[in-house]
Chain A
Amino acid sequence: MIAQWNPLPRFYAAVDVQSFERSPQIFLPFQRALDSKIPTAGSRFCAPTYQGKDWDDLVRSECSWISFWIELPDEVAVKQYRAFLAAYAEEQHANGRFNWPAYTRLRNLNQWLKYMKVVPSEARISFIVALGLLLVCTVNTIGLLLARFMRRGPEIGIRRALGASRGDIYAQYFVEAGVVGLAGGLLGMPITVAFIGSLDLMFDAKIARLVHSNVNIMLLAIMLAVAVAIIAATYPIWRASRIQPAWQLKAG
């Protein structure tokens, strides 16, 4: 008996486009599966001339229906194994088993997932859209903070005239921007939770299941909100700190 084992995406099922299914419940030794002639349920690739019908025909055929996973200890072993594969295919070709030139590839797990295009393009589009949204909202925040801070020219003038240094002004407004960011981040929390909860309305339930809200993600989101607000505030604050106290007081 083992604990639940379901590495997602299920790299070993990528060929069958079942990367995000639930975990298998029974594991069999491969030889046992062969001995009891359990029908295969995965993809099978056969030559156009293949005429077999039965399970026995399949096992004896040149159809490809088994994925092999090899654990290799280090780079040297990878190199050796790659050479072995190439030599083996070359030899089989020379013996006349295959009528096409040897073509062997040895991919590691990440290369394999990439090659099989396991991550759906929708996920990548979503990521790009999210970045775009963040960028536009940052520009938006810069504009709004600029208007907000410049409006308070008189206040800044008075504080400066009463002895506040530029640094004091910086500190005050950076704290203010940080608080705005924090408030935004906190307000965003319930929206995020609601959005993640309704993700299965939009996406495949298999994919939606992968996303759930946890404390780390929430903290990360709030920190991102504060960081973006502070970055966005930099230019407006610089402008505000340039206000000359004398002009403000004279005009006021």
Chain B
Amino acid sequence: MSVPLRPIMSALTRHKAGVLLIALQVALTLAIVANAIFVISQRIAYISRPSGVDESNIVIVDNRWVETLTFEQAQAKTAADLAMLRQLPAVADAYADYSFPVAGPWADVWGISLNVGQKSPTSFSEPYYTDEHALVTYGIRLLAGRNFRADEVASGSQLEQPKSGPIIITQDLAKKLFPEGSSLGKTIYIGGVGHDIIGIISDMEVPSVGTRSFAYRSVLSPIRLADLGGDQYIVRAKPGQAEYLRKNLAAALYQISRMRVIDAVGGVQSFQALRSKAYSRDRGLVVLLSAASIILLLATAGGIIGITVYWIDERRQQIGLRRALGAKRLEILAHILTENFCIVFMGICVGSLLAFAVNVALMHYLEMTSLPASYIALGSAQLLIVGQCAALTQARRAARMSPMEATRASSLVNPYNLIVEERRG
């Protein structure tokens, strides 16, 4: 079986407007879909980043004091709360912080330098204000060195930068600061103040959700936080007890003191719920772009079906004649599919360039990286498949036509031929 390319080409040149419209639609679709898939895959990778902590067992309490407290009072009240929480049978451990991984409401940013006088920091990082309980509370592994001792932890407020002393950093930050050799025991400088690295922990995400360049460069600073307005209590439940704690923690805290506000809805939430909320925009974008891509591909399929129906109707007699002269059904099918392939391929060629152009434009307006060619290949493959499937639905109808029916005089006249003749005349 041979596919006659010459008749296809001459047919295509005769239907210039229709061919160009479909090719243009394919090109635009490819330009959008390739970029959409790229954004989707980036966002999915971003959403599914592990936070590095024991997510399923962590519950977070947003505790707000209602009284005007001095620092010492806030400190005592926070300590009493934490002591009570740690005593609860369902609690594995707990500590107070101003924020927590990924979904934290706030984030401080620290520049970390290797020397005192360094102009620009070697790396940025975001701190946690922790005590000796933080490692167990998050369930982070200590890869080297040791945890803070209780006597190394000083009380402080979030505004205060740490005085010199021990510090624990993540492996990612350690690798950035000291690419060769161990960072354990080395001194790093934050705001001109030296800190000795006493421990290296497994990678744990920083508090702010949008931080992409230093996402795993967290620092644990030995500051027992007691903010005047109140803090977040990060509580790790014993396995299977997280839901129980989520429902009962507020009541337990109110028993110690009623002079606080724990929001009835958002006051106590599971880490997973907070994490999911933090990524809601990204998830929304993934859903939106997926839906838009599917609609675009369907619209293109619809366009191809519409124009193929027309072309087949227009060529009923020609198809019938070919069948009568011995052409097999498969040859008719192949003819129409090849025709479709040529059009879609034209569209893909233009669309690839257009996709890169759209990408460059997007890079100007949005935080986008350059589009890898593989996404264009993926989009092209989708369009070829959609195009062939769309054409196939109609091509099968054409191939089923019996030679008799097709050659029967039809009232349907080919207006394109008329126009061609008109031009010739």
A residues touching B (Cβ–Cβ < 8 Å)? 36-41, 43-44, 46, 48-55, 58, 63, 120-122, 124-126, 128-129, 132-133, 135-137, 139-140, 142-144, 146-147, 150-151, 153-154, 201-205, 207, 235, 239, 242-244, 247-248, 251-252
Whether A139 and B306, one on each chain, are in contact in the complex, defined by CB atoms closer than 8 angstroms, is no
Q: Is B142 an interface residue (CB 8 A)?
A: no
Tell me if B422 and A147 are in contact (CB < 8 A).
Answer: no
Tell whether B411 is near chain A: CB-to-CB under 8 Å: yes
Q: How far in angstroms is the closest Cβ of chain A from B47? A: 13
- Residues of A contacting B299 with CB < 8 Å? 136-137, 140
Q: Are B159 and A58 in contact (CB under 8 A)?
A: yes
The 8 Å CB contact of B22, one of A54, A143, A207, is A143
Cβ-defined contact, A239 with B411, below 8 A: no
Q: Known: A54-B70, A151-B310, A151-B313. Contact between A140 and B413, CB under 8 A?
A: no
Which residues on A sit within 8 Å (CB–CB) of B192?
48-49
Known: A50-B161, A54-B70, A247-B421. A252 touches B413 (CB 8 A): yes
Besides the contacts A54-B70, A202-B287, what 10 more A-B pairs have beta carbons closer than 8 Å?
A40-B229, A125-B366, A129-B32, A133-B296, A143-B18, A144-B303, A146-B21, A150-B310, A201-B287, A247-B422
Smallest beta-carbon distance A204→chain B, Å: 5
Report the Cα distance A121→B200, complex, angstroms. Answer: 35
In the complex, what residues of B have CB within 8 A of residue A44's CB? 159
Known: A49-B191, A133-B295, A136-B28. A202 touches B283 (CB 8 A): yes
Of the listed residues A139, A144, A202, the one surrounded by the most CB atoms of chain B closer than 10 A to its CB is: A139
Kindly identify which residue among A49, A52, A143, A247 contacts B25, using a CB–CB cutoff of 8 Å. A143
| Alpha-carbon distance between A120 and B367 when the two chains are bound, in angstroms | 11
Alpha-carbon distance A70/B31, docked complex (angstroms):
46
A58 to B416, CA, bound (A): 81
Pairwise interchain contact A139-B25, C-beta atoms closer than 8 A: yes
Report how far A47 CA is from B411 CA in the complex, Å.
86
Is B211 interfacial (CB 8 A cutoff)?
Answer: no
Specify which chain A residues have a CB less than 8 angstroms from the CB of B296 in the assembled complex. 132-133, 136
B163's nearest neighbour on chain A, judged by CB, is A51
Residue of A nearest to B24 (CB): A139
Check A140–B300 contact: CB distance below 8 A. yes
Counting CB contacts under 8 A, is B267 at the interface? Answer: no
Choice from B17, B227, B422 contacting A235 with Cβ under 8 Å: B17
Identify which of B32, B295, B415 contacts A150 (C-beta below 8 A): B415
Question: Which residue of A is nearest B416, CB measured?
Answer: A150
Tally of A-B Cβ pairs under 8 angstroms: 163
For A252, give its contact among B36, B295, B411 (CB under 8 Å): B411
| Consensus secondary structure, chain B interface | helix
Task: Name the residue of chain B whose CB is nearest to the CB of A145.
Answer: B306
Interface presence of B52 (CB below 8 A): no
In the complex, the chain B residue whose C-beta lies closest to that of A46 is: B159
Q: Assess whether A147 is in contact with B39, with CB atoms less than 8 Å apart.
A: no
Task: From B36, B65, B283, B366, give the contact of A124 (CB < 8 A).
Answer: B366
A142 to B23, CA, bound (A): 13
Which of B345-369 touch A at CB < 8 Å?
362, 365-367
In the bound complex, do residue B68 and residue A37 qualify as a contact, i.e. CB atoms below 8 Å apart? Answer: yes
For residue B190, CB closer than 8 A to chain A, the reply is yes
In the bound complex, what is the Cα–Cα distance between A136 and B294 (angstroms)? 13
A49 to B190 CA separation, bound complex (whole angstroms): 10
B contact residues around A46 at 8 Å (CB)? 159, 161
* Given A48-B191, A49-B161, A142-B21, A248-B419 contact (CB < 8 Å): no
Q: Which of A52, A201, A207, A235 is the one whose CB lies under 8 Å from B159? A: A52
| Contact (A204, B70) CB under 8 Å given A53-B156, A129-B292 | no
B378 at the interface (CB under 8 A from A): no
- Chain B contact-residue range equals 35 or more
CB distance from A226 to the nearest CB of B (A): 19
Which of B46-74 touch A at CB < 8 Å? Answer: 65, 68-71
Complex A-B: 28 CB contacts under 8 Å: A37-B68, A39-B227, A41-B229, A46-B161, A50-B159, A50-B160, A51-B161, A53-B156, A54-B70, A121-B367, A128-B362, A132-B32, A133-B292, A133-B296, A136-B28, A137-B299, A140-B25, A143-B18, A150-B416, A153-B413, A154-B411, A201-B287, A202-B287, A207-B281, A243-B415, A248-B418, A251-B413, A252-B413
B221 within 8 A of A: no
Q: If the complex has contacts A50-B160, A122-B285, A139-B24, are A39 and B228 also in contact, measured as CB distance less than 8 A?
A: yes
Separation in Å of the A10 CB from the closest CB of chain B?
16
Q: Residue of B at shortest CB range from A202?
A: B284
Q: Is B342 close to A, CB under 8 A?
A: no
Closest to B311 in A: A147
CB distance from B195 to the nearest CB of A (A): 13
Check A129–B36 contact: CB distance below 8 A: yes
| Mask of B393-425 contacts with A, CB within 8 angstroms, 1/0 | 000000000000000000111011011011000
Asked whether B366 lies within 8 Å of A121 as measured between CB atoms, the reply is: yes
**A132 engages B28 (CB within 8 Å):** yes
CB–CB B284/A203 < 8 A? yes
A147 touching B292 in the complex, CB below 8 Å, given contacts A54-B70, A239-B17: no
